Amino acid sequence: MTELTSTRAELAKVRAAMSGRVGVVMTMGALHSGHAALLQAAREQCDHVLATIFVNPLQFGPNEDFGRYPRTLEADLALLTEQGVDAVFAPGVEEMYPPGQSGVTVRPGPQGTVLEGAHRPGHFDGVLTVVLKLLNVTGATAAYFGEKDYQQLTLIRAMVADLNVPTSIVAVPTVREPDGLALSSRNRYLSDVDRPRALALSRALRAGVAAATEGAVAVLTAAGKELDGVDVDYLALTDPALGPAPERGPARLLVAARVGTTRLIDNTGLTLSAQER
């Protein structure tokens, strides 16, 4: 039976009873099959699995969707129980950010100011701050994150390395609908008209991968041609650490766009195997 906790004291008592390898999957709720994949990976690799549910106000900008972000605790708990999660930590805002605290946060450095960081200033300060707090209160051996939020994953890995956090960060591949759309809690915002238009993002990524043997410019050109009908925030090709794209070798293609009123992100890995001509 999955045990629900809402305070750090309750969680500490549950955590103290766990031995061996403990995995954690951090979520904002509105769980779907992508989260289930993270939980399955944690279950396969760990003796115990914790999940957290917390809609973190620090990572939302003033004009973003914090107020309307879906909160579906009952359905989420059913999925977590089905996945064999040992315990859930679902705190309120004041439990995570008690009144009177000094407001210390984690800054992501230069990599947090590009791509998502450029379009959502302060977003990754909020992400890294809450992730570090949750790593501390869960004491997890390993934490599982999806590759769909690739920049987030990269910055969390950097934070854990730079701050000597004794937790392994495990990446889990993006889970997609049969038609290619990356699973996201925000997909439920898409109207019947916008849902087919959202497939432009995954089409762009596939087109970029298909052009990888022709070099970086060809990748971006091919991907860009698939993005008509959506409002593109960025389309970028980088190395796996989000630095400049190499002439040859592993690279990452990332896209963010608004489809109607819904903002979606996606990415894929690829290998550049020819120099520009």
- DSSP characters over 170-186: EEEPPPB-TTSPBP-GG
Helix segments in the chain, DSSP class H: 8-16, 33-45, 73-82, 93-96, 116-119, 123-138, 150-162, 194-197, 199-210, 216-224
d(CA 272, CA 205) in angstroms, rounded, equals 14
Helix segments in 98-214, DSSP class H: 116-119, 123-138, 150-162, 194-197, 199-210
d(CA 226, CA 112) in angstroms, rounded, equals 27
- H helix count then E strand count, the chain: 10, 9
Position 137 scores a pLDDT of 98
d(CA 29, CA 108) in angstroms, rounded, equals 24
d(CA 161, CA 133) in angstroms, rounded, equals 16
Q: Is 119 an annotated catalytic residue?
A: no
Q: Residue 105 phi/psi, 5° resolution?
A: -135, 170
| Residue 179 token pair | 């038609």
d(CA 209, CA 223) in angstroms, rounded, equals 9
Position 103 scores a pLDDT of 87
Contacts of 47 (CB under 8 A, 6+ apart): 18, 19, 20, 21, 22
* Domain extents in the chain: 3-172, 185-269
Position 277 scores a pLDDT of 47
What count of other Cβ atoms lies within 10 Å of the Cβ of residue 31? Answer: 25
Helix axes 123-138, 150-162, angle to 10 degrees: 60
Handedness of CA 22, 27, 29, 35 (dihedral sign): negative
Q: Which CATH code, of 3.30.2390.10, 3.40.50.620, 3.30.565.10, 3.40.1180.10, is assigned to 3-172?
A: 3.40.50.620
Sheet-wide strand order for 3-5 = 3-5, 87-89, 48-53, 22-27, 142-146, 168-172
For domain 185-269, give the fold. Pantoate--beta-alanine Ligase; Chain: A,domain 2 (3.30.1300)
Q: Residue 17 phi/psi, 5° resolution?
A: -85, -5
Instruction: Report mean pLDDT in 10-residue bins for the chain, 277 residues.
Output: 95 98 97 96 98 96 86 95 97 94 92 96 96 98 98 98 98 97 95 97 98 98 96 98 96 98 97 72
Amino acid at 129: T
Q: Which of these is catalytic: 32, 35, 48, 119?
A: 35
